[in-house]
Amino acid sequence: MKLWEYIIYRIVLAVVVIFFVVTIVFFISRVIPANPAALWAGAHPTPEEIERAKEELHLNDPLITQFYYYLNGLFHGDLGISIRTHHPVAEDITKAFTATFELIIVAEFFAIIIGIALGTYSAVKKDSWVDNLSRLFAISGVSLPIYWFGMVLQLLFFKELGWLPLSGRVDTIVMLEHPLHVITGFYIFDSLITGNWIIFKNAVWHIILPAITLAMYPIGLITRQIRSMMIEVLQENYIRTARAYNVPNRTIYMKYALKNAVAPALITVGLSLAYTLVGAFLVEIIFNWPGLGRYATYAILSMDYPAIIGVVIIGASAYVFINVIVDLIQMYLDPRIRV
């Protein structure tokens, strides 16, 4: 099988997976006893208005017909109209997704760098005080509740020290005074390439606390995984060979051992990315971050099912996509599993 054949195969598989996800979420959201029509019709609706809303939302049609309408829309990139915001769901999600994605990228970027560095160092200096400290740090990272940790950071860095902003993505006033020309939707990136330094600084300032909060769990996970893989790899015969020829320790650790440790640990990185998607729900509520998690939470609270299904589809697609990427990187790193 050629590489592109493999990629196509994975994409077809992904479409099948997403179809099942859509089906399940669609039917679950329809069998829940709730009245979306009442919500759609606005404040204090009359029975006639609710009846009309039901017509508009096709709620009187058989389920299977509703499903057909939904799939048909989906096929045209239409995720329906949000019952809560009355905007197209696709539009809402695109806006929210870039905010979430920016947060996840920053969090995961630091998680990977810190996790690999800490894990490698821990394995090399096994049982030293640095190792013990990093293990304590890692276990705290995976076990501290994210909402508690986020609030502690807010108390410390906003209330007590006053170094960092409490919440939000960027200060509204700053945004009004220095309008940002939005290109990709990633504020840090957009402000950087348009040279809008005030927004850039403001956005970076705002992302620090939520990113740290979100990164704690992946840091712990990656550190632990890299450490245990590294310890295993360092006992391998090929490391003994390298030592028998005086290959410097730095080369052994950073080149020969790390590549062998990272290849299997990548699965964990993929999992941790999926986790940050979930973690974003809590972090975005705590830090009032206008992202997918916050959008989904409000959607769930108001039974806004087009929005719920939309978020689930995006989440599932992202998860499947992450896994494909992880598999491809793994194939790149390890020649034995290349197809």
Which stretch, 133-141, 163-171, 179-187, 231-239, contacts another protein (CB under 8 A)? 231-239
- Give me 110's structure tokens: 């630091």
Subset of residues 255 to 274 that bind another protein, contact rule: CB under 8 A: 256, 259-260, 263
- Please state the three-class secondary structure of 186-220 as a single string: CHHHHHHHCCCHHHHHHHHHHHHHHHHHHHHHHHH
Q: Which of 5, 55, 56, 236 is close enough to bind another protein by CB under 8 A?
A: 236
Residue 245 interacts with another protein (CB under 8 A): yes or no: yes
- Print the binding letters for residues 142-161 with another protein: x by CB under 8 A, - otherwise: --------------------
Output 162 or 335, the one with its CB closest to another protein. 335
Question: Rounded to an integer, what distance in angstroms lies between the CA atom of residue 115 and that of residue 227?
Answer: 9
- Separation between Cα atoms, residue 226 and residue 282, nearest integer Å: 27
Give the Å distances, CA to CA, from 53 to 17, 40, 44, 72: 32, 6, 13, 20
Q: Is 334 in the site for another protein (CB under 8 A)?
A: yes
Binding segment for another protein (CB under 8 A), chosen from 17-25, 185-193, 278-286, 330-338, is 330-338
Report, in Å, the least distance between residue 224 CB and another protein: 22
Contacts of 129 (CB under 8 A, 6+ apart): none
Count of residues of this chain found to bind another protein when the rule CB under 8 A is applied: 21
Task: By CB under 8 A, name the one of 251, 254, 288, 325 that touches another protein.
Answer: 251
Report the candidate in 85, 103, 220, 218 with the shortest Cα–Cα distance to residue 167: 103
Question: Maximum distance among all alpha carbons in the chain?
Answer: 86
Question: Does 242 participate in binding another protein (rule CB under 8 A)?
Answer: yes
CB of 221 to another protein, least distance (A): 23
